[in-house]
Structure 1
Amino acid sequence: MTIRLDHLETFALIVRAGGFRAAAAERGVSSSVMSQTMGALEQALGIRLLNRTTRSIAVTEAGERLLKRLRPALDEIRSALAELDELREQPSGTLRINAPGPAVDHVLCPLAFAFMKAHPEVKVEIVSDAAIVDIVEQGFDAGVRFGKQLAQDMIAVPLGRPLRYAIVASPGYLRERGRPTVPSDLIGHDCIRRRYPGGTLATWAFGKNGETVEIAPEGRLTLSSAHQELQAAIAGQGIAHVFEDYARAPIQDGKLIEILADWSPQLPSWFLYYPNKRHSSAAMRAFLEFARLSTRQAAPAAAST
């Protein structure tokens, strides 16, 4: 029985991606090629690894057993190849990073663009995702999350400056409905609500002089991204609660007015995290050093503003 390593990698990729189509798109081939590869692997093994329907796949018991042993083995192979990468003078290869939209927009993309200019042999793939994922299982080199609440087997590196939320509304809305001066004044206003991918609605937290207040906003409009919330606020649909980075330009242009600024506490920064036990490639080590240097350079600028 001859089993090809690339066929085993294809099997693991299909399961991780959740189907043949997504796996084919990631590898840059057709779905039929992925299906043929799986068929050849199952034929060589003499056992079915996946149950297929027209819309989904399900891993069989045999497939689960194989995956349990296969994933660590593939990680070891990737680590061995990454060690060879150390011998190169220039970091190379592909970095895959998972991050929520706000971190991608305001921290990760600018950082990645500058990094790629400094390291032309490195490719970067950024996946914007608000859901919490297992970056190792999903094949990412690193992830970005808010604050430092991470698993014990992860290393976290601060990414960018501390954050704060801005509560904003259009001048027209505030003229018509009045300007809140304390968080409780938001009751009765049209607040633009945010629903997270898991289905929960965001609450708005405030703090001042040791007093903390948390409000479950009420309003007629519920959205799922800061970009949409800003559009709605500019259009006079209500009061939005977004990261300050999103609101800065519309505030400067006079399209939005910040309210309750003295109730908006400073929050932790974004953190770049990566597995502690996994061997880092030369490209990943270069990116980590680049991120640390960029954060150190940003700190004095933030302190002076």
Structure 2
Amino acid sequence: MRASELAELAAFAAVARHRSFRKAGEERGVTASAISHAVLSLESRIGIRLLNRTTRSVSLTEAGELLRSYVDPAFGEIASALDALNKFRDTPFGRVRINVPNSIAPFVIGHVIGPLLENNPNLQLEISATDRLVDIVGEGFDAGIRFGERVSEGMIALRLKQRLRLVVVGSLAYFARRPIPETPHDLKRHLCIQNMFPSGARYAWEFERDGQPVTFHPSGPLSLDDHELMVEAAESGVALAYVWENRVEKQIASGELIQVLDAWCQPEEPLYLYYPSRRHPSAGFRALIDTIKEA
């Protein structure tokens, strides 16, 4: 097989994985038009249409599904073969792609980056930080980080040491106008930022004390899906924010923000690094796991 034919198959596999020429191009480091041209060339060469294209979506034809069922394992075998060569190198070589929620990425994976790259200079690390729920297999990630051990079938979950918690904070200016809440029930008389998922769905503020859970649904005028913006809004005195404690440690220590309801704010479920059980972990991925364990 010629190199150009292999490149066409790789382009097709990327489109099949992402259902998008743009995302396939980003993965391959080329333009979407280059990916489209490669797939069209493949279809012309074999005389069969592999993709259904509309202005809004890309899907596989029956022939495309069949080809993908053969191509994906083949490229997996090639990747494993190349990874096996790492035993002849001093450090792993290759790319590792990780997905982690944007709201916790800085204090969950941030401290791992330096040691990992310093000890593995031939490694290419890609971290996608998004609070969107991601299908790591479908989007080509090696692993993801998520709360709780409730992961999809066929996944391996490795528990991380961190246990994070969400806390309620407000500014001195805000509490100059309103009393400090003593229990979560008092929040009904406060302006509270609504926390959003990227999908637009809101999630509740959850508390617990002495085995007594309390769920509060904010109804304030401000809704945000970014914790940095929540912190800035709280600092400006607009409203109370429900954010990760790690993000506001400095502001609490300096007095810029006041933490309230501390006894009611319980640690979240443990964090897990999860990855497909059927995928042979590459040397680079094993290096990532070892660095996370050490950190």
- State the TM-score, normalizing by the size of structure 2: 0.93
Which whole-Å deviations, capped at 9, do the CAs of 1:128-180 have from their partners, x for residues lacking one? Answer: 12222221222111111112221242222233421111100111111202110
- 2:248 corresponds in structure 1 to 247
Which one is further off, 233-242 or 61-70?
61-70
On the 8 A contact 1:85/1:281 being kept in 2, the answer is: no
| Distance across 1 between alignment mates of 2:23 and 2:134 | 17
Tell me the amino acid that sits aligned with residue 201 of structure 1.
R
| Distance across 1 between alignment mates of 2:32 and 2:168 | 46
- 1:230 corresponds in structure 2 to 231
- 2:90 corresponds in structure 1 to 89
* Residue 174 in structure 1 maps to residue 175 in structure 2: yes
- Count of residue pairs the alignment pairs up: 294
| Distance across 2 between alignment mates of 1:91 and 1:260 | 47
Which whole-Å deviations, capped at 9, do the CAs of 1:166-207 have from their partners, x for residues lacking one? Answer: 100111111202110000000131110111123321111111
Which one is further off, 67-76 or 110-119?
67-76
Any residues of structure 2 matched to 1:1-305 within 5 Å, and which?
Answer: 4-294=5-295
Summarize the Cα distance change of 1:241–1:104 in structure 2 as closer, same or farther, 3 Å threshold. same
Tell me the amino acid that sits aligned with residue 176 of structure 2.
R
| Distance across 2 between alignment mates of 1:53 and 1:152 | 32
| Distance across 2 between alignment mates of 1:141 and 1:86 | 20
Which one is further off, 65-74 or 271-280?
65-74
In structure 2, the gaps of 5 or more residues are: none
| Distance across 2 between alignment mates of 1:251 and 1:227 | 15
Which whole-Å deviations, capped at 9, do the CAs of 1:69-110 have from their partners, x for residues lacking one? Answer: 332332233223222333323111111001111332111122
Which one is further off, 281-290 or 17-26?
17-26
Which one is further off, 162-171 or 152-161?
152-161
| Distance across 2 between alignment mates of 1:134 and 1:79 | 22
* RMSD between superposed Cα atoms in Å: 1.9
On the 8 A contact 1:191/1:239 being kept in 2, the answer is: yes
- State the TM-score, normalizing by the size of structure 1: 0.90
SS of residue matched to 1:101: coil
SS of residue matched to 2:125: strand
- 1:298 corresponds in structure 2 to none
On the 8 A contact 1:86/1:281 being kept in 2, the answer is: no
| Distance across 1 between alignment mates of 2:290 and 2:209 | 36
| Distance across 2 between alignment mates of 1:59 and 1:229 | 41
In structure 1, the gaps of 5 or more residues are: 295-305
| Distance across 1 between alignment mates of 2:169 and 2:123 | 39
On the 8 A contact 1:226/1:242 being kept in 2, the answer is: yes
Which whole-Å deviations, capped at 9, do the CAs of 1:230-269 have from their partners, x for residues lacking one? Answer: 1111111111001101111111222110000010112233
On the 8 A contact 1:98/1:135 being kept in 2, the answer is: yes
Summarize the Cα distance change of 1:237–1:283 in structure 2 as closer, same or farther, 3 Å threshold. same
| Distance across 2 between alignment mates of 1:85 and 1:36 | 34
| Distance across 1 between alignment mates of 2:95 and 2:249 | 33
On the 8 A contact 1:188/1:218 being kept in 2, the answer is: no
On the 8 A contact 2:108/2:162 being kept in 1, the answer is: no
Which one is further off, 86-95 or 47-56?
47-56
SS of residue matched to 2:228: helix
| Distance across 2 between alignment mates of 1:283 and 1:89 | 12
| Distance across 1 between alignment mates of 2:279 and 2:153 | 13
Tell me the amino acid that sits aligned with residue 267 of structure 1.
E
- Identity over the aligned pairs, expressed in percent? 39
